[in-house]
Structure 1
């Protein structure tokens, strides 16, 4: 079982062994990769979220416009049919209507 002193010694030995295996070039490449990847990941994450929100807003706006257009078409159709019904109803009066067996 490792106690604190042995554990510290073990960690330091592994650190020295790891540091000894990497050249200065490798250390610089790793450092620059970390420095460059951080902002790139941040920018890409923010861009993705912004794009996702924009697409969602466009889909919602498109759906709202389609509903408004459909409502307008239905209103126009029912208004025209109501006008036709009113016109036909105005043609029927007591002298014209003789009962259900007669047609105009």
Structure 2
């Protein structure tokens, strides 16, 4: 009798391990699917916002160049300062704008 019980116990334990491994595979599949979905949504959002950001930056640069070239404007030295600092590669556009605005506010 004890041999039969041991064989039954091993068989039941083996079934429990199979069910656990199937559950593990299912959980891993669900985690993988949600990870792919999350990465996909994040990529779409990143590239769409980057496109909008670059479009806004290009529009700002066009306006900056137009205002820099308008010699009749009283703000022409400010826009020239911003453009020259950015165009020379000395600093990014936002830093150039901040530095020149501080410079011309003091004067």
TM-score, normalization: structure 2?
0.55
Of residues 50, 61, 85 in structure 1, which corresponds to 2:65? 85
Whole-angstrom CA distance in 1 between matches of 2:68 and 2:3: 96
Matched, 1:28 2:30: no
Q: C-alpha deviations, 1:31-79, integer Å up to 9, x for none?
A: 1112212322221111111111111111121122111221121111101
Structure 1: state its 5+ residue gaps: 1-21, 93-104
Q: How many residues in Structure 1 have an aligned counterpart in Structure 2?
A: 71
Shift of 1:88: 4.0
Whole-angstrom CA distance in 2 between matches of 1:45 and 1:84: 57
Larger fraction in helix: 2
Structure 2: state its 5+ residue gaps: 73-107
TM-score, normalization: structure 1?
0.56
> Equivalent residue of 1:30, what SS?
helix
Q: Identify which of structures 1 and 2 has the higher relative contact order when contacts are C-alpha pairs closer than 8 Å and 6+ apart.
A: 2
